[in-house]
Amino acid sequence: MLKPTGKELILKLFKEKSSLKQDVFYNNIKVFEELKDIIKEVSSELKEEAEKIDNRIIVDYIEKGPYEVELKVAGDILFFQMHTNVFDFDKSHPMWKTAYVRENPSRSFCGMIYVYNFLSDSFKYNRVNDVGYMIARLFINNERHYFVEGKRQLGFLYNDFANKIIDREALKNIILSAIIYAIDFDLFTPPFEEMQEISVSQILEASENMRIKTGKRLGFRFQSDNDQIA
């Protein structure tokens, strides 16, 4: 049997990997378009109901571009961003223990959508030093199988990659879970000892632009599983 030439190996990789990654990418675009549409619907529904509870509660949807959506809910902002690259997983990842991936390793290639949580005041007052947190990552392969890595319910409700296929209901549930987490994730005061010193430039900037660094768990170790403070 003749050893394949370099050109033949390249063409083989085009067929087995490059074409597959294109499938995953364009499939992920379709999912993200669905996600944006559902976020817009959820925003409209919540805005109407929030006004009945308290007209000071703001709910707003802003499409920032083809791969980013902003959802403002009360004092929080959720950013949904689609990564334009396709990812595989280390062989130690739990997905490789499933028959679904073992019987067809190409199923491990996924597109990724991030969900970030920021304080809305960070943007309102241009507090550029404030921090946000990634609260979830949604992975989808070319067969629309999906799972979520994330905080609290986001990390355990949506992790059956072998059997679950992404659809509008699943996307809506993920969005609602992200909103619940963000609103329930409270702003804690930083430890007193870490806030004692402040420079002249910092207080001048704070007076001008509210730039004292703020985050929901600033000064605390941010746990990946239960968000308890250390």
pLDDT of 212 strictly over 70? no
Residue 230 lies in a domain: no
Residue 47 lies in a domain: yes
* Residue showing tokens 């902003």: 70
Contacts of 138 (CB under 8 A, 6+ apart): 112, 113, 114, 115, 146, 147, 148, 158, 174
Which domain, by its residues, includes 130? 20-187
Residue 205 lies in a domain: no
Identify the pLDDT of residue 216. 53
Distance CA 66, CA 36 (A): 10
* Residue showing tokens 């669905």: 34
> Which own/partner pairs from 1-9 qualify as long-range (CB within 8 Å, at least 24 positions apart)?
none
Q: pLDDT over 90 for what percent of the chain? A: 61
Residue 9 lies in a domain: no
Distance CA 214, CA 129 (A): 7
Predicted confidence band of residue 42 (pLDDT cuts 50, 70, 90): very high
Q: How many domains does the chain have?
A: 1
Helix spans in the chain (H): 6-13, 19-53, 99-102, 120-124, 153-156, 168-184, 200-209
pTM for this model (two decimals):
0.81
Identify the pLDDT of residue 129. 77
Residue 215 lies in a domain: no
Distance CA 57, CA 38 (A): 20
Predicted confidence band of residue 130 (pLDDT cuts 50, 70, 90): confident
- Cβ-count burial of 165 within 10 angstroms (0-12 exposed, 13-18 middle, 19+ buried)? exposed
Between 204 and 176, name the one with better pLDDT. Answer: 176
pLDDT of 228 strictly over 50? no
For 14-40, what is the mean pLDDT? 94
Residue 120 lies in a domain: yes
Identify the pLDDT of residue 13. 81
Predicted confidence (pLDDT) per residue in 77-126, tens digit: 999 999 999 999 999 999 999 999 999 999 999 999 999 999 998 888 88
Residue 74 lies in a domain: yes
Query: Are 199 and 211 spatial neighbours (Cβ–Cβ below 8 Å)?
Result: no
pLDDT of 220 strictly over 80? no
Residue 92 lies in a domain: yes
Distance CA 162, CA 146 (A): 8
Catalogue the E-assigned strands of 133-194: 133-140, 146-150
| 145 DSSP 8-state letter | B
Identify the pLDDT of residue 67. 95
> What is the number of other CB atoms lying within 10 angstroms of the CB of residue 24?
22
